[in-house]
Amino acid sequence: MSEPLFRLERITRTYVQGRAKLNVLNGVDLALGRGEIVALVGPSGAGKSTLLHIAGLLERPDDGEVLLTGKACGRLSDDARTAIRRRQIGFVYQYHHLLPEFSALENIVLPQMIGALDRREAERRGRELLALLKLAERADHRPGQLSGGEQQRVAIARALANAPDLLLADEPTGNLDPRTADEVFQLLLTLVRTVGLAAIIATHNPALAARMDRTVRMENGQLIEA
């Protein structure tokens, strides 16, 4: 069996609130292969966002390790973690967080240029992603001129702009109506399969979770295969 693209090994995370300790993650293990999409479910406050933050190198675990493409990342310096996030991890949130003064294409080009890619190549890549997400004709529109579903598709394109190995999404369709949510998710699923990255999608929508490769549930600080 080939090495997983992404792994969490024995991850623990505890928060101190006054004299109390809150054990949010307690020995969490998770492995994903290339082209695999996993649903992360559980009630609010169960630790899903904490897990995504640690997986995305935004937060350090108290113990355990985060491995991406075989490299241990959890204990690296802040600069090294930032570089990995920029090159190898894409994020999609419930709200799109697009820059309102820039066009759809420019919102996708900017993170690539921050990563030192030539502008012409960044634009080529941006238009390619917009076409895949059925937004080719909306490239020059600003976020305020786009529907909610279109804005979120641009956010997905932006997350994939630097060709990451890992995609992390926190309720990516939570602000959309059911029909639009279904369309956006289907495009996201197709892209994960086409590009061959690993994806963890936190969702409260059981219908969307059922369409992913497998579902893991946060429960009492641990991940349980649902």
Q: Which of 222, 221, 216 is nearest to 201 (CA)?
A: 216
Q: What is the pLDDT along the chain (226 residues), one digit of tens a residue?
A: 467 899 999 999 998 877 888 888 999 999 999 989 999 999 888 889 899 999 999 999 999 999 999 999 988 899 999 989 988 999 988 777 889 999 999 999 988 887 777 888 888 989 988 988 888 999 999 999 999 889 988 998 888 888 899 999 988 887 778 888 888 888 888 888 888 889 999 998 888 899 999 999 998 888 998 7
Residue 129 lies in a domain: yes
Residue 70 lies in a domain: no
Residue 94 lies in a domain: yes
pTM of the model: 0.87
CATH number at residue 95: 3.40.50.300
Residue 24 lies in a domain: no
Look-up of token digits 């994960």: 192
Domain ranges, residue 191: 34-60+77-225
Report the domain count for the chain.
Answer: 1
Residue 25 lies in a domain: no
DSSP state of 24: E
The three-state secondary structure class of 132 is helix
Residue 211 lies in a domain: yes
DSSP secondary structure of 32-97: E-TT-EEEEE--TTSSHHHHHHHHTTSS--SEEEEEETTEE-TTS-HHHHHHHHHHHEEEE-SS--
Cα-based distances in Å from 84 to 3, 25, 160: 19, 23, 14
Residue 188 lies in a domain: yes
Residue 164 lies in a domain: yes
- H/E run at residue 127: helix 119-132
